[in-house]
Structure 1
Amino acid sequence: MASDRPRTSIRAWRPSVPGIAEVFHAHFTDHAYPAHTHDTWDLMILDDGSVDFALDRRRHGAAGGAGVLLLPPGVPHDGRTVTASGFRKRNLYLDASVLPHRLAGRAVDTPVLNDGLLRRRIDQLHAALVHAGDGFEAESRLSFIRERLHVHLAALHPRTPGREANRLATELRQLLDSRTHKGLSLREAAATLHAHPTHLIRCFKQTYGLPPHAYLTGKRIEHARRLLLAGHRPAEVAATVGFHDQAHLNRHFTRHVGTTPARYQLKTDGAL
């Protein structure tokens, strides 16, 4: 019966990604937020349903599948569902390292951003955050979200890779090759190579045709295949090549090779 279904579902966690204080996924049917404030920025997308909310005593509305909601820190806001079916939402609570508090005033007048590219990037980030071990990808995707938000709030536009692109890409590739197992953060790579994170990613993708997190995953899969063919157990391989755990290896290996590590090991005779 419909009345037996749960009226609320919530999942919340703090990822190991600098700048993200909390990830919050929820389905509400009858919950209404009282007026409150946050110390962080609240970046939200709706997957289904509609919401009505007040920000700084002005009412706004948003529907799922379209815009992005950005609520600044320190500004009172509330929220409530519009329809009986409620709404499904995904929130990122971002600290001042992503957006400085001085930009809060510019976000008050237009908290709903009709930006399809930004929404897709937020959706991709949530997908990366769900899986432990994809921190480098999540950090990379957050850097592009930060850049896009700065375009909206501060009119700062990204720099196009120039003659330095091949040099930076080569240096980043060498750095990734030397850290295939241990890995590294985007922040560390940018500091080492003295480049802005998003500019560094753009240079790498322009030169090699894929983002650095995808390159690193591919290198690990390549190493994993060799170890599996040599008879090593998948759990051992996962730890050796730098995946978070066996489930992390299984997910990426299946996406790259078309089968799980265990089946790959059983069905191959070394002639692949």
Structure 2
Amino acid sequence: MKWWVNRLRPGEAGRPWLVWLHGLLGSGDDWAPVLPYFDAWPLAVLDLPGHGAFCSMPPESFDSVSLGLTQTLASLGIEHYILIGYSLGGRIAFYHACRDRPAGLRGLFVEGAHPGLDNQADRDDRLRHDRAWAQRFAQQPLWQVLDDWYRQPVFGDLSDPQRRELVALRGHNQGTAIAAMLDATSLARQPDFLPSLQGLTLPFGYLCGERDGKFSALARQGALPCSLVPGAGHNAHRAEPAAFAAELLSLLAPLY
């Protein structure tokens, strides 16, 4: 199942494509404030399955998600590329890089993405957690679920107006499609990629907001190469697009 292409923009010849993967409930439009800083690079901005134009076609597993990504890039003629993913998009990028190991992948840069759980008890707890949310997304009014979703501790840096803005922005989604995507790509179903990430030979960077305590701690504990975005929480590219772009550009510089 190929993904929906949100936007496609050529850049300077010879540069690898930057392939942008958004988070759960979002769309490729989420990257719009950041993209102007990457004018020299060819850009492929994608909508995840279960989102955007493919909201009625959620995947069945991480395998099918990654296969769809491979098929989409092939259909676009993209042979050499760098993955940039936020949250769920970052976890999909982990899977694609560490499990599929595509020959054309030239770099991996993620923002606020969990590398994986390393024990069954934590996986069981997470699966119960995600299934409870999936049931709510499938059965309850979307605005009500979204309001509670953005009150979770990971979004603790949001002000009330910012949370209301996100609830309104994400209201275009279909609850049943989000529920299916959440279940198929639950952190409980993701392998623990930390050992693989620690041994990656391709360029790899981990970005997170300096006020994102959970994910900055995960990066430290896992000895991942972490770049902190000043003034930002969990969604750093939305809160501080210029600072996020500056950090990412510095990581990309050696690749061209």
Whether these two folds match at TM > 0.5 is: no
The answer to which structure, 1 or 2, has the higher relative contact order (CA under 8 A, 6+ apart) is 2
Higher helix fraction (1 or 2): 2
Higher strand fraction (1 or 2): 1
